[in-house]
Structure 1
Amino acid sequence: MTAGRQRRVTLCAKTTVVSAIPVRPGKTHSLSALDHAMTRHFLHLVFYFRAAPALTKSRLMYSLSEVLSYYPAVTGRLHRQPVEDAGAGSGSEWSWVVKCTDAGLRFVEARAHATLDEWLASATDEEEMELAHSEPMGHDPSIWSSYCVQLTEFDDGAVAIGLSSAHINADLTSAILLVRAWSDAHRRACIVFPPFLHAPALEPRPNPNPRSALFSSKSAAAAAAAASTEPVATAKMSSATFVFSDASVKCLLSDAGDASPFDALAALFWTRIAAPELGAADLTLGIDMRKRMHAPLPYAFYGNAFHFYSVHGVDLGAGLSRVAADLRRAGEGVREEDFWEAVEWLHERRPGRREAEPAFQVYGPELTCVEVDRDAFAYGTPFEDNDGSRPAHVTCRVDGVEGAGLVLVMPAAAEGAARQVVVTLPDDVVAKLCRDASIAKYEPTVLFASAGVKKG
């Protein structure tokens, strides 16, 4: 919280919500190599809703308890488990596993001393994260809840639902679909995307490609590990959200040529964050692989299923349309084989593995740009059966970002091509972007910037 600024969010109570149906004794949920790679990171989501009769604490806690019956891994606790097939003399080899003990998740109640419109117009990035309570892992993870839900009521009766999760559990798609399943249960509707809890779906193949050991693919994991396995020295990081209307994105697409909204926005922000005069530059891109595989995973696959790959040697001075085209071609060139090579490489180097390196930065040290929620799941989460009950705004953040920073591109509340870009970057870079004429040309609304940064 910025010094001298009065705190507007007050925590009122904390409790635990358990599932309505107990889990059978002894049930566990294993974590994949992709899950283990996310050890350093946390997810934070905030869903904002206008005042509605159905959004009361008692009703929300009841429906949350019901939907948690589908998510035993959410209510469980992390444990270190010895690897049985490690071989003789393996000694300290272990992996993380979730023991589905019905311990429940943390549920926090809070008050925000502002109306929703006042909050959206004035809240800083630090204030917004006060709506998504999280607790660091203590010395004993078996008593720590890796999921927290916060219900915050505004002065006008609007509410914010904040969800925080250790990234080792799942990715942003899984976290968004957990809230969507909650909204379905709350409306007594069919859960459209019930979770698919099957971590072995991403286990290494029985006959892995020999290239996986050398890891010569384009995935960014090896590059990140080679750059640093220790925290990256970095300036103070801050965030801001840029909301682009349907008309603004269409204007950008006319300037960017044959590109998707993601390619165009990634190119726009990359060229403004980096220094075009330096010539060739590198970028890490993250995409959800669930539906990009020959045997697709269900949308509701629970876990981490994003693939991070590097784009090398792009000339940022060549213009927006050229950079966007380079990003489009790089995305089209991602093969399923690249993804499996990354899975197999990470499996051999996961935390707890013999002679393994410690967990490294996935979001950094190189600038990382991630495409989130392509099918607008975040805004398909109404808690009432009417068109006006969709979220007024949704924010996604990743904690533990270091180095050059992170750019998340996701749909916005408005329909059509509207998008929002959530950046987590060094302080001075965020301030520069908020004043950048090339971005201002597309008239974004700037939300949740640091105190002192002028908002558009």
Structure 2
Amino acid sequence: MSPSNGQDLVYDVRMSSVVPASITGGNVVHQLSNMDLAMKLHYLRAVYYFKSDAMVGHDILSLKKPMFKWLDIYCSVAGRIRRSESGRPFIKCNDAGVRIFEAMCRVTVDEWLEMDDPSRHKLLVSNQVLGPQLQFSPLVYVQFTWFRCGGISVGLSWSHLIGDIFTASIFMNMWGQIMAGEPSIKTVHLPRTEVERPTKPASNPTIPLSVKQVNNIGDEWLPANACTMSTCSFHITDIQLKHLRSKISYQTGSFEAISALFWQCVARIREEKEPKMVTVCRNDSNAKGSGILINNQVISTVKTDSHVANAELSELAALIAGGTMDESKEIEEMVESDDKSADLIIYGANLTFVNLEGVDCYGLEMKGQKPISVYFGIDGVGDEGTVLVLPGPVDGGCDGGAHGGRMVTVILLENQVSLLRKELEGEWCAAGIY
């Protein structure tokens, strides 16, 4: 089904807002860290799909009602961007709220997921970015789309500057827990009133290899790409993953094995422009589960002199596994050296691999039921592209989500996506592609 037909299937879009249940106060601010500001041009787009059984007894009011308490817990998310006298952005916690969209879809959830259209998820989540009127731009959008079968999708648009993808996942799962009436939720994530900043930033900060500086962004926070970017998703089953790892003599994890495979495939389709250097993003394990609004990535670069297209996968996997030189400090110093904050691209500055295996992306439950499918993607990716490695479907393995293989979301230049599909199908006979 073509994207244009897909657009015709989603209709009757309505808009509203949800604000915190309690008044936060007139002078409360959430200070953004240097790493927050380094991620400001990136946006998470996530879509959770639920069948009709999970929606019995639910309507739009029952879905929105828990959000008032939800935003009490995360009042910073309901704020808006302001600038200090020096030009540095911060969040004013003014209870302006989260924007809600409601829409209808003419097909069933199953029919939608079977569509041969990689862009279909984008119709179920807002594509809004921050700016050009920053003071009025919501940081978070949620879209509910009701399908003909009675099922629903929940689309999350999340500004990366308020937290990484682990944080966004915890945020969404918290909404589900409140909706279920969990009595144990007592945490309130207070706005960050101060951040650690060097008293004297480096006069000539080292430019990290993992970032690209962009110019003339202004107050519309989305980088311009040379060509159109496109997104596709692959389900690597448990059996396929075991087969892939068996081909690699180096004892490596699933993320490293998958990254090595995709690095080589991208190198082959780019031929003489194969990427010799890639960025690897991992979450700081010490921050998992906290739910505090934070960007806590460990960002490193990996380089090779080998011909990547013909290299042994074991060699590439070993390089990725060893890429633990964290450039976060250098990135933060680069932001700190500019009072107005540097405009940087991290995802896609180089070909970027993001390890999201620890994300509880199936943790959002309705009526005790997990989503049947989850899509995670990123907007604001640079021309070199990004590969996200996520847990597979909950029912994808004999023991649940931990053994359900992996979902891989790839964001590349539009003309490279079909070539990547052919490369994967031809080399590995990768089944389960959708």
> Is the structural similarity TM-score above 0.5?
yes
2:383 is the counterpart of 1:395: no
Shift of 1:303: 2.6
Equivalent residue number for residue 419 of structure 1: 406
SS across alignment from 1:384: coil
Equivalence for 1:450? none
Residue matched to 2:433: 446
Match of 1:140 in 2: 133
Instruction: Tell me what 2:48 maps to.
Output: 47
Letter in 1 for 2:283: D
Q: Residue 174 of structure 1 contacts residue 303 of structure 1 at CA under 8 Å; is this kept in 2?
A: yes
Q: Is the alpha carbon distance of 1:54 and 1:312 closer, same or farther for their aligned partners in structure 2, counting shifts above 3 Å?
A: farther
Separation (CA, whole Å) in 2 of partners of 1:362 and 1:191: 37
1:259 and 1:328 in contact (8 A); partners too: yes
Instruction: Output the CA distance in 1 between the equivalents of 2:132 and 2:258.
Output: 41
Please name the residue that 1:319 is paired with.
Answer: 312
2:279 to 266, 278, 284: 284
Match of 1:94, SS state, is: coil
Query: More deviation in 52-61 or 1-10?
Result: 1-10
Alignment of 1:100-249 (within 5 A): 100-122=93-115, 124-190=117-183, 194=187, 196-197=189-190, 199=192, 203-204=196-197, 213-215=204-206, 220-221=210-211, 224-225=212-213, 229=215, 234-249=226-241
Query: Paired residue for 2:265?
Result: 272
**5+ residue gaps, structure 2:** 217-222
Kindly state the Cα deviation for residue 282 of structure 1 after the two structures are TM-superposed. Answer: 0.8
* Other-structure match for 1:303: 294
Q: Within 5 Å, which residues of 2 pair with 1:80-91?
A: 80-82=83-85
Match among 410, 416, 420 for residue 433 of structure 1: 420
For each residue in 1:150-190, what CA deviation from the matched residue of structure 2 results, as whole angstroms up to 9, or x when unmatched?
00011111110001122222221121111100011011115
Cα displacement (A) at 1:143: 2.2
Partners of 1:157 and 1:314 lie apart in 2 by 54
Q: Partner residue of 2:387?
A: 407
Which segment is superposed worse, 113-122 or 133-142? 133-142
5+ residue gaps, structure 1: 83-92, 448-456
SS of the equivalent of 1:340 reads helix
Deviates more, 1:170-179 or 1:437-446: 437-446
Deviation by residue 1:104-150 (Cα, 9 ceiling, x = unmatched): 11111001111111111105233311100243444432222221110
Task: Give 1:369's aligned residue.
Answer: 353
| Preserved CA contact (<8 Å) 1:193 1:300 | no
Q: 1:25 to 1:135 in 2, by over 3 A?
A: same
Q: Deviation digits for residues 297-339 of structure 1, max 9, x if unmatched?
A: 7631213222322111252222112211111122xx335xx43
Shift of 1:259: 1.1
Distance in 1 separating the partners of 2:125 and 2:141? 8
CA gap of 1:167–1:6, structure 2 versus 1, over 3 A, is closer
Residue type of the alignment partner of 1:262: F
Measured after TM superposition, the shift of residue 364 of structure 1 is 2.4
Superposed CA RMSD in Å reads 2.8
* Structure 2 counterpart of 1:88: none
Q: Which residue does the alignment assign to 2:219?
A: none
Distance 1:134 1:280, change over 3 A: closer
TM-aligned CA distance change 1:35 to 1:195, over 3 Å? farther
Q: 243-252 or 103-112: which moved more? A: 243-252
User: Residue in 1 aligned with 2:10?
Assistant: 9
Instruction: Indicate conservation of the 8 Å contact 1:266/1:369, yes or no.
Output: yes
SS at match of 2:16: strand
Give 1:368 deviation, angstroms: 1.2
Cα distance between partner residues in 1 of 2:200 and 2:184: 37
8 Å CA contact retained: 2:169, 2:359 = no
Higher mean C-alpha displacement, 33-42 vs 179-188: 33-42
Structure 1 residue 220, shift from structure 2 partner: 1.2
Partner amino acid for 1:250?
K
Deviation at residue 250 of structure 1 after TM alignment: 1.7
- With the length of structure 1 as denominator, give the TM-score of the two structures: 0.82
Q: Is the 8 A contact 1:251 1:442 kept in 2?
A: no
Q: Is this contact kept in 2: 1:181–1:193, CA < 8 A?
A: no
SS of the counterpart of 1:342? helix
Distance 1:345 1:38 in 2: 13
What is the distance in 1 between the residues matched to 2:184 and 2:233? 30
The answer to whether 1:77 aligns with 2:83 is no
Looking at structure 2, the residues matched to 190 and 314 of structure 1 have their Cα atoms a distance apart, in angstroms, of 56
Q: Is the 8 A contact 2:34 2:332 kept in 1?
A: yes
Partner residue in 1 for 2:220: none
**Which residue of structure 2 lines up, in the alignment, with residue 347 of structure 1?**
336
In the alignment of these two chains, the number of paired residues is 413
Using the TM superposition, name which of 70-79 and 193-202 deviates more.
193-202
